Amino acid sequence: MRIKLSDLPFGATAVVREIQTSAHDLNCLGLRIGKELKMVTKQPIKGPVVVILGELEIAMGLETAEQIVVETGVDR
């Protein structure tokens, strides 16, 4: 199932499928298409989203997370 990263529940894992915003900065921090990530936390009052990708942990704004499409339930 494909959903927005911002809708991914806590602790769930998913694979990045599409980046609808400028991808360069996200790529540089390690968030790239095809990578598996895990939702760590979404901060209240439209705060940032923190995800873990393998050894990496990155924080991004909510609007950015809304423009990233991930696929859940991918068997790896």
Partner 1 sequence: MTEGRADLPEGGTTVLMLGNPNVGKSALFNRMTGANAVVSNYPGTTVDFTRGTFIEGGHTYTIVDVPGTYSLEPRDAAEEVAVRMLRDCPDATVMIVLDATKIDRGLYITLEVMERGMPCIVAVNMMDAAHEKKITVDIAALQRLLGVPVVSTTATSGEGVRTLAEQIRKAQVANLGGIAKRLRGEEPRTESLRACGGCGGC
Partner 2 sequence: MVISSDARWEMVDAITRQTVTYGTYKQTLGDVLGDLTVKPLTGIPVAVAALYAFWSIFTSFAGTLVTDGFMVKLFDGYWLPWLQSVWPDPTSWHYFIFVGNPAADTCFEAFGMLTSGLFVSIGVVLPAVFVFYLMMTILEDSGYLPRLAVLMDSVLHRIGLHGYAIVPAILGLGCNVPAVTATRILETKKQRFIMMTLLALFIPCGAQLGIMMSVLPDLVGVVMLCLVVGFVIFGFVLNKVIPGENPEILVDVPPYHWPVKEYVAKKLWNRTKGFLKEAVPFVLFGVLVVNLLYLGGVIQGLADLLEPVFVTWFGVPKETVGPLIAAFLRKDLAIAQLSTIPMTTYQTVASVVLVTIYFPCVATFVVMLREGWKQLIAAIAVLFVVVFIYGGIIHAVGILLGVA
Q: How far is the CB of 55 from partner 2 (least distance, A)?
A: 8
Given a contact cutoff of 8 angstroms between Cβ atoms, the answer to whether 36 and 46 are in contact is: no
Instruction: Report the 10 Å Cβ neighbour count for 73.
Output: 9
* Residue 37: strand pairing partners: 14
Question: 15 is in the binding site of which of partner 1, partner 2, none (Cβ under 5 to 8 A by kind)?
Answer: none
Total site size for partner 1, rule CB under 8 A: 8
Closest to 43 measured CA to CA, from 2, 73, 10: 10
Of positions 34, 55, 73, 76, contacts partner 1 by CB under 8 A: 55
Which residues of this chain interact with partner 1, rule CB under 8 A? 24-25, 27-30, 55-56
